[in-house]
Amino acid sequence: MPDSVTQQRDGVRDTGDRTGPEVVLVHPQIGENIGTTARAMLNCGLGNLRLVRPREAWPNEKAVASSSGATDVLEGAKLFDTTADAVADLSRVYATTARPRDMVKPVLSPRAAAHEIRDYQETGGSVGILFGAERSGLDNDDVALADAIIEIPMNPDFSSLNLAQAVLICAYEWRLAGAAEDGGAPRRGRPQAEAATKAELLGFFEHLEAELDRAGFLYPPEKRPRMVRNIRNLFARADLTEQEVKTLRGIVASLVKGRGN
Amino acid sequence: MPDSVTQQRDGVRDTGDRTGPEVVLVHPQIGENIGTTARAMLNCGLGNLRLVRPREAWPNEKAVASSSGATDVLEGAKLFDTTADAVADLSRVYATTARPRDMVKPVLSPRAAAHEIRDYQETGGSVGILFGAERSGLDNDDVALADAIIEIPMNPDFSSLNLAQAVLICAYEWRLAGAAEDGGAPRRGRPQAEAATKAELLGFFEHLEAELDRAGFLYPPEKRPRMVRNIRNLFARADLTEQEVKTLRGIVASLVKGRGN
């Protein structure tokens, strides 16, 4: 979301969950992508970054510039010469790829993998997720090091995801997998908003209907009950607050005396 | 995912689902971000892009360069002068934001919103999702045009998502919602084809506000914008049908001429 959307919270700054899975970038070619990857990781609360022989020099100024402040993640990044070295201390490794491989390995969605990773880490396991280079992706020797494959379900005709966006999807699912629930149930945007009582609502309805009778709007009489029901229904759906009911009564009164002012 | 991960599939090239929700970028500042947004959209099979007064000239070469070939989406992008114009033909609008607003609107997760959007469009509704500018985000008048807010659950201490990544999360959830086995959100009671368009709703708002100005209700001037926003919000929440908007206009007209009858 745009920068302005940053939320403020009291308490310590969350600079990334050191217990989350290791994000392993294998031969990343572009410094900017390492920075945007660090940003995406920290957006989702992940802090553990590993780099296998990045093409550009490390530390990398362009990575810092594109990380939008996720410098803790970049400064904590560990460098390795080979993918084997990078995963040596891990007990479970996932390879992100969609290219068909002549290897028999379980293939998981990011969502299924996220739950598996959470469960695995809760029982003391250490996990890494491999992401290939921008151009060439993971080679078969890298994938051979993995226990399972994560396939991100994209448009088959345009599935080439930017590196940081592939990391974002996996990190986002990891974050949601840890949430009590995905926040799915719609909630009031302003819980403290005082909902109007039925009495207040009825008072407004009677006020409005009295004025509409006087104006001859609820006519003919045989149609009045239906018209009143429809009008009450549309306002009832608005889930009005006490203040909004007052506003509506003010609007009706104001429109009625109208030109009087 | 890295380019190498692109999947091949027989059959026509999927250049974006023209029936999916409209992605509306409000005052995007950076051409590259429009290109990476188009790429993220097409990755997830979305093709409808709308731009409200982009800061840089349009068409934009940097957008094309950063789109990695999602040129169909960029070439199909529609330009608008105002957010109101951009949503005029839509019947349901979501605003992506995490900043607390003093507006009562439902707040949904990207996942819950994705199911709601799928269900809504299946019954004939037209949907747009608003994304604010990189720096400033959506202003209150933009959010006031929305029926609901989508809050992307990020690390509260580092929730500033890149624009294209905010779009990716919403588009990814939309794509998965289409494949989901869980059935998604409960169906709506009535066909959304009956829903009023934003243009019809705005027509009513302008009619009501003109009469309230004449009655001296929207006074003093410095308070008018806030009052208008609150009034629009309460009616927007009612999810009005075209017929109900006509009824409300009839009510306003009737109350105004009132004693005339």
- State the DSSP string of chain B: --GGGPPP-SSS----BTTS-EEEEES---HHHHHHHHHHHHHTTB--EEEES-SS-SS-HHHHHHTTT-HHHHHTPEEESSHHHHHTT-SEEEEE--S--SS--EEE-HHHHHHHHHHHHHTT--EEEEE-BTTTB--HHHHHT-SEEE-----TTS----HHHHHHHHHHHHHHHHH-SS--SPPPSS-GGGBPPHHHHHHHHHHHHHHHHHTT-S-SGGGHHHHHHHHHHHHHTT--BHHHHHHHHHHHHHHHHGGG-
Range of A17-21, A66-70, A190-194, A255-259 with top mean pLDDT = A66-70
pLDDT band at B13, cuts 50/70/90?
A: low
State whether A165 and B40 contact (CB < 8 Å). Answer: yes
Residue B191 in any domain: the answer is no
Q: B227 lies in which domain range?
A: 196-258
**One domain for residues B156 and B119:** yes
**One domain for residues A176 and A241:** no
pTM surpassing 0.80? Answer: no
**One domain for residues A123 and A201:** no
Q: Which two tokens stand for residue B187?
A: 């169906």
Residue B112 in any domain: the answer is yes
**One domain for residues B95 and B208:** no
pLDDT band at A188, cuts 50/70/90?
A: very low
First CA to last CA distance, chain B? 69
Q: Which two tokens stand for residue B65?
A: 């360069």
Of B149, B181, B213, the last residue of a domain is B181
- Which residues, listed in sequence order, are joined to residue A185 by a DSSP beta bridge? none
Number of structural domains chain B divides into = 2
Average model confidence (pLDDT) for chain A?
Answer: 84
Count of A-B CB contacts under 8 Å: 309
Tallying the residues shown for chain B, one arrives at 261
A127-131 sheet: strands from edge to edge? A78-80, A49-52, A22-26, A127-131, A92-96, A148-150, A107-108
Q: What is the distance, to the nearest Å, from the Cα of residue B41 to the centroid of all Cα atoms in its chain?
A: 15
Query: Do A81 and A52 meet the contact criterion of CB atoms below 8 Å apart?
Result: yes
Chain B, 3 to 42: residues with Cβ < 8 Å from chain A are 3-9, 13-15, 36, 39-40, 42
A261 compared with B204, residue with greater pLDDT: B204
Residue B144 in any domain: the answer is yes
B19 compared with A150, residue with greater pLDDT: A150
A198 compared with A153, residue with greater pLDDT: A153
**One domain for residues A96 and A212:** no
Rounded CA-CA distance A148/B14 in Å is 28
Query: Do A171 and A41 meet the contact criterion of CB atoms below 8 Å apart?
Result: yes
| pLDDT tens-digit readout, B23-52 | 999 999 999 999 999 999 999 999 999 999
The angle at the Cα of A184, spanning A178 to A186, to the nearest 5 degrees, equals: 140
pLDDT band at A2, cuts 50/70/90?
A: very low
Of A154, A181, A208, the last residue of a domain is A181
Given the cut 0.90, state whether the ipTM is greater than it: no
Q: Which two tokens stand for residue B231?
A: 């009034």
Please state the rounded mean pLDDT for residues A89-104: 76
State whether B215 and A254 contact (CB < 8 Å). Answer: yes
Q: Which residue among A182, A185, A238 sits closest to B238, beta carbon to beta carbon?
A: A238
Chain A, 208 to 237: residues with Cβ < 8 Å from chain B are 208, 211-212, 214-217, 227, 230-231, 234-235, 237
Q: What is the 3-state secondary structure (H, E, C) of chain A?
A: CCHHHCCCCCCCCCCCECCCCEEEEECCCCHHHHHHHHHHHHHCCECCEEEECCCCCCCCHHHHHHCCCCHHHHHCCEEECCHHHHHCCCCEEEEECCCCCCCCCCEECHHHHHHHHHHHHHCCCCEEEEECECCCECCHHHHHCCCEEECCCCCCCCCCCCHHHHHHHHHHHHHHHHCCCCCCCCEECCCCCCECCHHHHHHHHHHHHHHHHHCCCCCCHHHHHHHHHHHHHHHHCCCCEHHHHHHHHHHHHHHHHHHHC
Average model confidence (pLDDT) for chain B?
Answer: 85
Chain A, 39 to 58: residues with Cβ < 8 Å from chain B are 39-40, 42-45
B22 compared with B105, residue with greater pLDDT: B22
Residue B186 in any domain: the answer is no
| pLDDT tens-digit readout, B178-229 | 875 443 333 344 556 588 888 999 999 999 999 999 999 998 999 999 999 8
| pLDDT tens-digit readout, B61-100 | 999 999 999 999 999 999 999 999 999 999 999 999 866 5
Residues of A in contact with B68 (CB under 8 A): 160, 162
Kindly state whether A179 is in contact with chain B, defined as any CB-CB distance less than 8 angstroms: yes
Q: What is the CATH number of the domain that holds A99?
A: 3.40.1280.10
**One domain for residues B173 and B206:** no
**One domain for residues B102 and B155:** yes
**One domain for residues A207 and A105:** no
Query: Do B1 and A160 meet the contact criterion of CB atoms below 8 Å apart?
Result: yes
pLDDT band at B144, cuts 50/70/90?
A: confident
Residues of B in contact with A69 (CB under 8 A): 158
| pLDDT tens-digit readout, A210-256 | 999 999 999 899 999 889 988 988 887 787 888 899 999 999 999 99
> What pLDDT is stored for residue B19 in this prediction?
77
Chain B, 106 to 165: residues with Cβ < 8 Å from chain A are 106-109, 111-112, 115, 131-138, 148-149, 151-165
A196 compared with A33, residue with greater pLDDT: A33
Q: Which two tokens stand for residue B96?
A: 């992506």
**One domain for residues B170 and B238:** no
Rounded CA-CA distance A5/A182 in Å is 19
Please state the rounded mean pLDDT for residues B232-247: 88
Please state the rounded mean pLDDT for residues B155-176: 92
Rounded CA-CA distance A189/B101 in Å is 8
Lowest mean pLDDT among A5-14, A45-54, A127-136, B128-137: A5-14
> What pLDDT is stored for residue B100 in this prediction?
56
**One domain for residues A11 and A120:** yes
Residue B188 in any domain: the answer is no
**One domain for residues B142 and B58:** yes
> What pLDDT is stored for residue A35 in this prediction?
97
pLDDT band at A71, cuts 50/70/90?
A: very high
> What pLDDT is stored for residue B185 in this prediction?
38
Taking every pair of Cα atoms in chain B, the longest distance, rounded to a whole number of angstroms, is 75
Q: Which residue among A5, A135, A215 sits closest to B4, beta carbon to beta carbon?
A: A135
Rounded CA-CA distance B50/B80 in Å is 7
Residue in the block written with tokens 């553990």: A48
Residue A186 in any domain: the answer is no
Residue in the block written with tokens 């229904």: A233
First CA to last CA distance, chain A? 46
Lowest mean pLDDT among A79-88, A195-204, A224-233, B32-41: A195-204
pLDDT band at B260, cuts 50/70/90?
A: very low
Q: Which value, to the nearest 10 degrees, does the dihedral of the CA atoms of residues B65, A77, B152, B159 take?
A: -100
Residue A189 in any domain: the answer is no
Residue B68 in any domain: the answer is yes
Of B152, B181, B210, the last residue of a domain is B181
Q: Which residue among A7, A98, A189 sits closest to B5, beta carbon to beta carbon?
A: A98
Cis peptide before A100 (omega within 30 of 0): no
**One domain for residues B166 and B213:** no
> What pLDDT is stored for residue A9 in this prediction?
36
Q: What is the CATH number of the domain that holds B209?
A: 1.10.8
| pLDDT tens-digit readout, A14-35 | 666 667 999 999 999 999 999 9
